[in-house]
């Protein structure tokens, strides 16, 4: 068997079309994710799913406003219980 | 047995080139870049990809992904492992194109293959306890064939993988780099830190052994 025949035979190891597509999707998804800023991600989400994006933003804002004082109060209560008594 | 050994490869693989042509045409349909570019065109793609041209990066990827996969497939135990290594290697290469310097005299394909080989070695190190004492791959190659394959191609793949599994790891690396990545002896020698003359000698010896073994495994009646 000569060099050319072996090179031709090695082509039998090529990935199937489905496998090739899967690799390509993963590689380029990773690259895109690495290159896209968080603001860009939000803008993209706003374009594709405006209602979901607005719901997420609202939920995040409300959580931030409400949960931060709740956290302070909880930690204060824990501190008082443990060390203040 | 002697008659089997002296059968010309053309008799055993009468449709190998036809199958390869069909495969290339199908691959082009499913995202492969069938038209192979010369080194100057590849370097232009590298420059454009570095400058942020996404189309150039994708073309560069499609030009080389098949080569990387078939190179590492011969060294790993399954298609799934080869898929993971190919993915990691392509990702590493495409995100570090700035590190590639054609001035060093290294072809892009050789640089990319070096990344793939390093990724494969890292994987081998991780799995060392599972390897047999002789360093042979404990896989039955036919087990993970793709269902879409035609029978000839599946037999060829199975025979090749079985023959490769019987080689020493270093021999397997050398033939995979030669016939999978299509590197020349000097490029292989540079990657494996060997003398080119030594690589040529090993290739000559292994090619004969591999050829005989594949021909024998391809005979009707031999279970693939």
What's the confidence (pLDDT) of residue B219?
A: 83
On whether any CB of chain B is under 8 Å from the CB of A39, the answer is no
Contact B210 A7 (CB under 8 A): no
Q: Supply the pLDDT for residue B125.
A: 67
**Contact present, B193 and B165 (Cβ < 8 Å):** no
Q: Identify all chain B residues contacting A4, using CB atoms and an 8 Å cutoff.
A: none
- Tens of pLDDT, residue by residue over B126-137, are 654 444 333 445
Q: How far is CA A6 from CA B98, B191, B206, in A?
A: 34, 21, 12
pLDDT digits (tens, 9 = 90+) for B140-149: 444 455 555 6
0.80 surpassed by pTM: no
Choose, out of B14, B15, B20, B71, the residue to mutate when testing the contact with A (most A CBs < 10 Å): B20
Q: Decide if pLDDT at A49 tops 60.
A: yes
Q: How many CB pairs under 8 A join A and B?
A: 114
**In chain A, what are the helix, strand and coil shares in percent, each to the nearest 5?**
90, 0, 10
């Amino acid at each position: 068997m000569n060099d050319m025949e072996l090179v031709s035979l090695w082509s039998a190891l090529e990935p199937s079309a489905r496998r090739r597509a899967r690799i390509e999707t993963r590689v380029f998804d990773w690259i895109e994710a690495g290159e896209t800023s968080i603001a860009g991600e939000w803008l993209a989400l706003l374009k594709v799913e405006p209602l979901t994006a607005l719901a997420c933003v609202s939920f995040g804002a409300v959580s931030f406003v409400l949960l931060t004082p709740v956290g302070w109060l909880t930690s204060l209560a824990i501190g008082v219980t443990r060390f203040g008594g | 047995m002697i008659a089997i050994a002296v059968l010309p490869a053309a008799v055993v693989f009468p449709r190998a080139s036809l199958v390869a042509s069909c495969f290339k045409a199908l691959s082009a349909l499913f995202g492969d870049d069938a038209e192979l570019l010369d080194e100057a065109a590849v370097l232009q793609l590298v420059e454009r990809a570095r400058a942020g041209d996404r189309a150039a990066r994708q073309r560069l990827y499609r030009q080389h992904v098949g080569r990387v996969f078939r190179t590492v497939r011969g060294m790993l135990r399954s298609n799934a492992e080869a898929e993971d290594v190919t993915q990691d290697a392509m990702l590493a290469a495409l995100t570090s194109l700035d590190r590639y310097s054609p001035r060093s005299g290294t072809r892009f394909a050789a640089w990319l293959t070096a990344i793939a080989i390093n990724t494969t070695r890292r994987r081998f190190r991780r799995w060392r306890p599972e390897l047999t004492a002789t360093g042979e791959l404990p896989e039955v190659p036919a087990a993970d064939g793709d269902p879409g394959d035609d029978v000839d191609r599946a037999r060829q793949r199975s025979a090749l993988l079985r023959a490769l599994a019987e080689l020493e790891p270093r021999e397997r690396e050398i033939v995979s780099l030669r016939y999978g990545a299509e590197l020349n002896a000097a490029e292989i020698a540079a990657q494996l830190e060997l003398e080119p003359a030594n690589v040529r000698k090993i290739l000559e010896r292994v090619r004969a052994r591999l050829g005989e073994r594949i021909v024998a495994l391809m005979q009707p009646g031999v279970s693939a």
